[in-house]
Structure 1
């Protein structure tokens, strides 16, 4: 995945969250192996990539509130 593609996915995620007035905190896991490992542990997949992909699926399936554990 190219850097431009990743930036597009990140901006899409923040646009959706902003549009739904959902508060969030951005965390850059690219420079911190401990944060990346934590994300992978939370995802239950030791090879997981950042969860924007799952986020987009949740938006498309109209399950974003459940995905973010807000419902």
Structure 2
């Protein structure tokens, strides 16, 4: 759902129907600080400043993310 419509009745219903993981994802997706951090992480990977695994692990740690194996 587009971030600019997150207060619409349809969006609110979709958010209410999410499980905790889905809600967390939607929260981060709308968080400007997370979005900036994610973009910067991708830039650092693309420039070769840091390897992908290290950069993504660091991003996950900063934002308290856990991924299922």
Q: Which has the larger radius of gyration?
A: 2
Tell me: higher relative CO, structure 1 or 2? Use CA pairs within 8 A at least 6 residues apart.
1
TM-score, normalised via structure 1 length = 0.29
Bigger fraction of residues in helix: 2
